[in-house]
Structure 1
Amino acid sequence: MKYIFIAPVHFMEINSTLSKGIQLKDNIRISNNKDFIENLFDTTEIYEWIGNVGYRELKNSTYIYAQGNTADLIEKHGEEWNYLNYCFYFLRESQSFLHDLWHVKDHSSYVRDGFIYVYDETDKNPVELQKASLSQVSSNKSGEVQKTIFSKEEINLAKELYQNSEAYNLSSSRNGGRYPTLNPFGTDLSRIERAEAFVFMARGESVLPLKLINYCTALECLFTSDAAEVSHKMAERASVLFGATKEERINYFKLIKAAYSIRSKLTHGQAVNQKIEKVLETTQSIDELLRKILNEDHQIFLASQEDFESFFNDLLLSREFG
């Protein structure tokens, strides 16, 4: 038997037609070709299963799809998984690519519903269709959900990141991909991996102070190894590592202090009384800073705790400040 997985990507536009699409990883592709959708609905019974709303969503969107033999899915993941699990697998992979796309450019594009259509390859009679849904709706650095236009070059940059990331492991999640593990933040994750997880959660939050909470926690993952003087350490270490000039270092220091002030008030149950313009500016700037940090290859974030502390002590005490 064969299968087709397909999921519309909301609030995403590509500025040229991709025909068969760009192959992202294995048999997973991204496309905006309406002819593929028309042919899919003309040659299968999928319309009877997902209806006019699903058809219109797919026809008028960028979409991620995969097609192949069901035997290959069973060989890769094991016989214990059903088609709903495989649908979640492809949805999670799509979500992972879109997170890698954030590294290229800020956006609020997301996948919500995905369909896997299983059919007999001899007569294309439908065997099964499963729908899986994810709950996260991404927002951009301003907390808004808006269409973002991408070029093929930007898609290919994200593709490189995506191909270097680990494939989603169905066995590592609960209920076959519906939910993550109860504790995904164990010691097996590096600082960068923990920070990425909190950035991912921040992008799913449209309330700016709540978005900032997760951004600040991402910075803590990267720049601290204990609970002492957290905000000062983050501001100091980030500013000396990424500020090329005295002015840049001062700006980064003030930025992180401002973000942490908002974060602290909210987590301690106090009113966030800063003007919305200040909260917005801080959130946007922290988003951009985290993208800069995570896009640069700093091996210190993979070092042991002892080497990590020694590195920043040496950097702070030996650097000539201009």
Structure 2
Amino acid sequence: MEYYIVPVDNIEFENNNNSYLVTMQGNNLMDFCVSNSLPPSILNDNFQFWFGKFHLERIKQGNYFLVQDFHVIEPFKTDEELQKIMNDKNAGLHFFYGSALIFSLCLWIIKDNSVSIPLGIYHNNSIGGGFPMTKNVMISNSRGAYNTLVFSKEEFQKANEWLDVLAEYFIEDTVVEREYSDYNNLNSDINHNTNSFKRALTYIEQARSTSFLPAKIAHYISVLETLFVVTDSNTYKTPERTAVFLGGPKEERSNVFKIVKDSYKVRSSYVHGSDIAKKLNKKLDHISSDLDSVLRKVLIKFLTEFKELNYSGNDYTRVDQYFVDLVLGGS
């Protein structure tokens, strides 16, 4: 029996269901175990030897993605055969770890959080142990804090629906072959192709991966500039296009414009190495939180109502013209 285990930090649930099934594109993908479901025959001294007491005790607490495979590894005769086996298992671990990362982003679409995916583990007693992979990044919420957040069953299921949406931009049809010795290199886990939606999602990941609010705000702004094709007059075009795109009464549009405009002041000071004005510095957490909320609404609208505005290469001119016409039309 082999196991792929991906612990999840800073998350709790309203009820104590033992597990939730995670699906992708109509197929069962993995279970999310709220409480530990692995037996002592797995979480034993051998497990501690391979992965350490900290990870052993962490997994006993529950809250992890789990894939169990009944596939039996055939005896290997050469080092080359073992290397091939390890490469295959390593590719599997990267896939499930990457899927968990995408699911974490889906939870952000549901609501602001600091849910983190710190590592993944492949374990198989038949080969005497396994191997881990780690990503030394802690996710913070929009205010730069690391807090545990409670999700309902309905919210988890809604995040699972978003997994199908985001998989279109993250999951490749072809499997990238990996060398086992490079298992800790995550550069190609989420392949950054050039279309605007994928770039925007990448910038969101970067924003969530820092608790330094000026940097977080700068990444948020990069998302908006990417989606709204802003390459000049940034400090006016981006707030304007954001406000008009989200629409609503004049008061709501004016508020959105101000949120993005204030965020630009922070971003400009940060990227140019200047002091951030005291009146802005005192409310950085509010600016970041408000911008996070605006960004979530923008992204949801693009992904659900305006998928045709996803662009790459020279196609940006088409999308840019769309927003020129939208602003001039006043709606």
CA offsets, 1:185-243, max 9 Å, x none? 5xx43222111110110000101001011001111101125x32112111111111113
Find out whether 1:309 has 2:320 as its counterpart: yes
* 3-state SS, counterpart of residue 128 of structure 2: strand
Partners of 1:101 and 1:182 lie apart in 2 by 19
Verify the 8 A CA contact 1:13 1:61 in the aligned structure 2.
no
Matched residue, 2:228: 223
Verify the 8 A CA contact 2:235 2:264 in the aligned structure 1.
yes
Change (3 A) 1:255 1:173: farther
Change (3 A) 1:197 1:51: closer
Read off the aligned partner of 1:60 and give its amino acid letter.
Q
Verify the 8 A CA contact 2:30 2:67 in the aligned structure 1.
yes
* 3-state SS, counterpart of residue 124 of structure 2: strand
Find out whether 1:293 has 2:298 as its counterpart: yes
Q: How many residues align?
A: 305
Matched residue, 1:33: 35
Partners of 1:158 and 1:183 lie apart in 2 by 19
Matched residue, 1:142: 143
CA offsets, 1:6-49, max 9 Å, x none? 12211111122232432344341111123x13455368953443
* 3-state SS, counterpart of residue 244 of structure 1: coil
Matched residue, 2:79: none
Partners of 1:81 and 1:192 lie apart in 2 by 31
Matched residue, 1:117: 123
Verify the 8 A CA contact 2:94 2:189 in the aligned structure 1.
no
Change (3 A) 1:264 1:172: farther
Partners of 1:234 and 1:89 lie apart in 2 by 35
Find out whether 1:64 has 2:68 as its counterpart: no
Read off the aligned partner of 1:96 and give its amino acid letter.
I
Partners of 2:329 and 2:267 lie apart in 1 by 31
Verify the 8 A CA contact 1:243 1:252 in the aligned structure 2.
no
Verify the 8 A CA contact 2:260 2:291 in the aligned structure 1.
yes
Find out whether 1:236 has 2:225 as its counterpart: no
Partners of 1:43 and 1:235 lie apart in 2 by 55
Partners of 1:146 and 1:256 lie apart in 2 by 25
Read off the aligned partner of 2:103 and give its amino acid letter.
F
Partners of 1:52 and 1:177 lie apart in 2 by 20
Partners of 2:222 and 2:101 lie apart in 1 by 21
* 3-state SS, counterpart of residue 218 of structure 1: helix
Matched residue, 2:109: 103
Read off the aligned partner of 2:54 and give its amino acid letter.
V
TM-score by length of 2: 0.82
Query: Which aligned pairs between 1:1-322 and structure 2 lie closer than 5 A?
Result: 2-25=1-24, 26-34=28-36, 36-39=37-40, 41=42, 45-70=46-71, 81-120=87-126, 126-164=127-165, 165=167, 166-167=170-171, 171=176, 175-176=182-183, 178-181=185-188, 188-225=193-230, 227-275=231-279, 276-296=281-301, 297=304, 298-299=306-307, 301-302=309-310, 304-319=315-330
Q: CA deviation at 1:270?
A: 0.6
Q: CA deviation at 1:292?
A: 0.7
Partners of 2:270 and 2:191 lie apart in 1 by 24
Change (3 A) 1:193 1:255: same
Partners of 2:89 and 2:155 lie apart in 1 by 32
Partners of 1:172 and 1:142 lie apart in 2 by 38
Structure 2 residues without counterparts, runs of 5 or longer: 74-83
Q: CA deviation at 1:301?
A: 2.5
TM-score by length of 1: 0.84
Residues 308-317 or 284-293, more deviating = 308-317
Q: CA deviation at 1:256?
A: 0.9
Partners of 1:208 and 1:195 lie apart in 2 by 18
CA offsets, 1:75-125, max 9 Å, x none? xxx9682434433332222111111111011110111122111234xxxxx
Partners of 1:100 and 1:189 lie apart in 2 by 21
Residues 304-313 or 80-89, more deviating = 80-89
Structure 1 residues without counterparts, runs of 5 or longer: 73-77, 121-125
Verify the 8 A CA contact 1:88 1:178 in the aligned structure 2.
no
Partners of 1:172 and 1:201 lie apart in 2 by 25
* 3-state SS, counterpart of residue 290 of structure 1: helix
